[in-house]
Structure 1
Amino acid sequence: MLQLADMRLWSGRTDAEDGRAGERWHQRITPLQLDSAPGLAVLGFASDEGVRRNQGRIGAAKGPRILRLAMANLPATFDRPLYDAGNVRVEQADLESAQALLGARVAELLDGGHFPLVLGGGHEIAYGSYQGIARWMRELHRDKTLGIINFDAHLDLRIPSPASSSGTPFYQIAEECKLAGKPFNYLCLGAADNANTDALYRRAAELGAQVIRDREITAWNLDVTLERIAAFIDAVDLVYLTVCLDVFPAAVMPAVSAPASRGVPLELFEPMLDRVLNSGKVCLADMAEFNPYFDIEDHAARTAARIGFQIANGVMA
């Protein structure tokens, strides 16, 4: 189901004495219209059905609402338009229809020249986001190649059995690429050995996926990681960026289905994210797994909003 934007969520502090330079997102954002000029379009995916199927802690369906509240007071530091494109919501546990609708909505936004920033919701969001990118590329960029960069403690390469879930999206994408005769270019950053079985690592190798484990991402090894990210990006034309918030330490990001026992520190994540954004190749970004029921005084929501702020400024500059 497609829900219209609830603009009541966008409210906050105003500093009228500072003029436009003192404005925040809630003062700039407007509901997306059919004839809206290209800009940043915030789209929610209100789903935790994939998490439920994956035997995780449900609650991520409330993520888009709380993330909007957390983003409302972000400084409006770019001049391009900012829109709320509403939500796609799962109804009656019909995840597959919701993912298809998300894909259609993402394709519409891309066709309109917008940059979609999609807020989850469980990581089943990735298969819906990909469907939208694939449709857009078939119509307008058939000759280009896509790379997927996933910041995540989990590979999410499980085989759907008996059904798809938040743990299967990249396997599903790999299968779609195979059917379409397209390469599966996938880089997972932050995979945790205690959160992925040998079967998943073997599957990643069989599919040609690249994996950088969380224990490899250190301050003294950051330059090597940045070089590997750059090499991956150089080999593709477009990038789909997806950030699973469980990639961060549990102390920073408790509000997820499966909190990390180690995780990637925010101070190392941010330069990696900048390297991706500075490529100019990112066509869509989403954030997954935020579950406000397990937040502590909105700490995790504020961290997620900071990441959204970095993404928005990276692509809108």
Structure 2
Amino acid sequence: MHADRHSMEPWQGRVDPEADSARWHQRIQPLAGDSELGLALLGFASDEGVRRNHGRVGAANGPLAIRKALANLAWHRSGPAYDAGDVVCADGELEAAQARLGSNVCALLDAGHLPIVLGGGHEVAFGSWQGLAGHLGGGQSEQRSPAMAVPRRAAPRIGIINFDAHFDLRDPAHVQSSGTPFAQIAEQCALRGWPFAYACIGVSRASNTRALFQRAAELQVLVREDRDISEASLASLGADLDRFIAGCDAVYLTIDIDVLPACEAPGVSAPAARGVSLALLEPLLERIRDSGKLRLADLAELNPEHDIDNRTARLAARLIHLLSLTG
């Protein structure tokens, strides 16, 4: 794999004198070709999709902010973790950056790692998915035309679970942006003859038009709105996710941090008036993590320029810490 840039400089923090008191900055290593299988963090420094979607830019600095917040967290893994560098979207060339991200994600998966991609705007999702599709579909990490739509292997069923206030199903024919990745994925699945399995959890009805809800219905998206997620509904929602996962070969988890309330996550491109609290989100993420089918995860929309006391970066770091507790 070939990241656009790589630095271990963000991995600094406290060193405690007691035994068995390691923190992330003391354990994470730069990725090498002969690295033992482990967790691999890959940044996607882009907010071009957010700019095209008329959002608050600044998410390109998200990967750095997440690393700095994660560096000082306590280490509880038994397996290794690596920093695989950043893919950088420069000069507005989003599609090229997404293709490079897909190639890097595919390489990580081919090597046996569990990639967690640090966004960046939610345009990260189309690049992340390209990488998983390439890994499962026999080298098809790049976008295909109809003439090239015949898969080399039996069609994999990739289950996409998106925790998000938005569907991100806007029509990409107008402009490809942070608001279109799952519509783009649906198009690619149709071209390849693959099933499109998409669950969007935490949707805000106030932030999605009737046209988007209709599009989600046409694509048979599993939809759960923010107002329907509570302590009382967690067991039922967990059972729904279990059934969704059971019907998939592999799971791609994507978390748009704007699914959380603005009071918990102020530093995002589109703050949520209501949102789904971290206390409700964590048990659902643990369920997905422990399903045995999670192959890829990413976090999107952290915007450090609008954060308060690094609150959102710390939250994102905690989510990665939770997902990392697999080995």
TM-score tier, shorter chain, comes to: over 0.9
The answer for unaligned runs of 5 or more in structure 2 is: 140-151
- Name the CA distance, whole Å, in 1 between partners of 2:232 and 2:174: 43
Query: What residue in structure 1 maps to residue 61 of structure 2?
Result: 62
- Name the CA distance, whole Å, in 1 between partners of 2:304 and 2:5: 21
Give runs of aligned pairs for residues 103-182 of structure 1, distance below 5 A. Answer: 103-139=102-138, 142-143=153-154, 144-182=156-194
Q: CA deviation at 1:194?
A: 0.4
Contact 2:261-2:277 within 8 A present in 1 as well: yes
After superposition, the CA RMSD in angstroms is 1.3
Give runs of aligned pairs for residues 240-259 of structure 1, distance below 5 A. Answer: 240-259=252-271
One-letter identity of the residue aligned with 1:64 = P
Query: What residue in structure 2 maps to residue 91 of structure 1?
Result: 90
Structure 2 residue 12 is the aligned partner of structure 1 residue 11: yes
Structure 2 residue 222 is the aligned partner of structure 1 residue 210: yes
Contact 1:149-1:239 within 8 A present in 2 as well: yes
Q: Deviations over 1:2-25 (max 9, x none)?
A: 33321111010111331xx21111
- Name the CA distance, whole Å, in 2 between partners of 1:157 and 1:287: 18
The answer for unaligned runs of 5 or more in structure 1 is: none
Give runs of aligned pairs for residues 44-59 of structure 1, distance below 5 A. Answer: 44-59=43-58
One-letter identity of the residue aligned with 1:14 = V
- Name the CA distance, whole Å, in 1 between partners of 2:69 and 2:304: 11
Q: CA deviation at 1:128?
A: 0.1
Contact 2:157-2:196 within 8 A present in 1 as well: no
Q: CA deviation at 1:161?
A: 4.1
Query: What residue in structure 2 maps to residue 187 of structure 1?
Result: 199
Contact 2:45-2:89 within 8 A present in 1 as well: yes
Give runs of aligned pairs for residues 205-284 of structure 1, distance below 5 A. Answer: 205-284=217-296
Contact 1:4-1:85 within 8 A present in 2 as well: no
Structure 2 residue 201 is the aligned partner of structure 1 residue 201: no
Range that drifts further, 133-142 or 225-234: 133-142
One-letter identity of the residue aligned with 2:304 = P
- Name the CA distance, whole Å, in 2 between partners of 1:208 and 1:179: 17
Q: CA deviation at 1:38?
A: 1.0
One-letter identity of the residue aligned with 1:35 = D
Query: What residue in structure 2 maps to residue 38 of structure 1?
Result: 37
Q: CA deviation at 1:29?
A: 1.0
Q: TM-score, normalised by structure 1?
A: 0.96
Give the number of equivalent residue pairs.
313
Q: CA deviation at 1:134?
A: 0.4
- Name the CA distance, whole Å, in 2 between partners of 1:139 and 1:35: 22
- Name the CA distance, whole Å, in 2 between partners of 1:16 and 1:80: 22
- Name the CA distance, whole Å, in 2 between partners of 1:142 and 1:248: 38
Instruction: After the TM superposition, list the runs of 4 or more consecutive aligned residues in structure 1 that deviate by more than 4 angstroms.
Output: none
Contact 2:199-2:223 within 8 A present in 1 as well: yes
- Name the CA distance, whole Å, in 1 between partners of 2:50 and 2:190: 26
One-letter identity of the residue aligned with 2:271 = P
Q: Deviations over 1:21-53 (max 9, x none)?
A: 211110111111111111111100000000000
Q: Deviations over 1:195-222 (max 9, x none)?
A: 1000000001111111111111011111
One-letter identity of the residue aligned with 2:53 = N
Q: Deviations over 1:202-247 (max 9, x none)?
A: 0011111111111110111111111111111111121000000000
Contact 2:268-2:306 within 8 A present in 1 as well: yes
Aligned-partner SS, 2:324:
helix
Aligned-partner SS, 1:113:
coil
